[in-house]
Amino acid sequence: MRRSQAMLRDDAGFTLAELLIACALIGFVMSGLYALLASGQQMYLTGTNQMDAQQTLRLAVQRITAEVRDAGYCPTCGTGSPAITPFSAITSANATGFTIQNDWDASWNGAAGINTASAVNYVVLNNNGTTTTTQRGEQSIYAFSAGILTRQEIGIDAAPVVLASNLAALTFTYLDRNGTVLTTPVSAIQEGRIRTIVIKAVGQPQVQPSTFQAGRVQVAMTDTVRLRNRAP
């Protein structure tokens, strides 16, 4: 009987207190690992969504700035006697959109010549001396509504074409040659004074997580573009 009791006393084991301490330590370790994994996932989602938002925003802003920069093309302006006065390069200007005008077929006479209904022939002189004729619309309409930016080239596009979607915000500000901000919507009398457009946009990923979810981001971008075809 004494041997049996001695053997029981020598058996290795854990007390209840030791088990509770071990469970607590394991819980702390697991909590730390979970926090580390959650943080890594959030960083990954944030980075991926930020790249998505930046790419969408960059393409949209680049398209606008490229076309605005060359707006108001007018090969007849300044010619003749008296000299032919230019038309407004930007019309229907407001905080969420505007219309770009160009005289591709050189028909502007100082009072009329911008085709607002159909496309015209645009002749390009190639480096080898030959010419290439393409169809171009003399008005391009940019509009932003409900998170969607569209562009419609009159005479070419049957309906507005989506350039970017899921934008959080997009606004346009118009400046004259002195840098003075013109009140929007810009009146027809003031449209000829537009020399610079400030584009402010806020983009977000195509699939924006809810506020409480990981990876929710917004990217802001501001660009300023000046009209090259109008005297400063």
Overall size of the chain counted in residues: 232
- pLDDT at position 39, please? 67
Note whether 196 and 227 are within 8 A (CB). Answer: yes
Note whether 120 and 138 are within 8 A (CB). Answer: yes
**Cα–Cα distance measured from residue 163 to residue 219, given in angstroms and rounded to the nearest whole number:** 17
Q: CA nearest 89: which of 225, 199, 221?
A: 225
Contacts of 154 (CB under 8 A, 6+ apart): 115, 116, 117, 118, 119, 137, 138, 139, 140, 141
Q: CA nearest 57: which of 147, 152, 143?
A: 147
Residue 218, burial from CB neighbour count under 10 angstroms (0-12, 13-18, 19+) = middle
pLDDT at position 115 over 60: yes
pLDDT at position 185 over 80: yes
**Cα–Cα distance measured from residue 151 to residue 66, given in angstroms and rounded to the nearest whole number:** 13
Confidence category of residue 229, pLDDT binned at 50, 70, 90 = very high
Confidence category of residue 11, pLDDT binned at 50, 70, 90 = low
pTM for this structure?
0.78
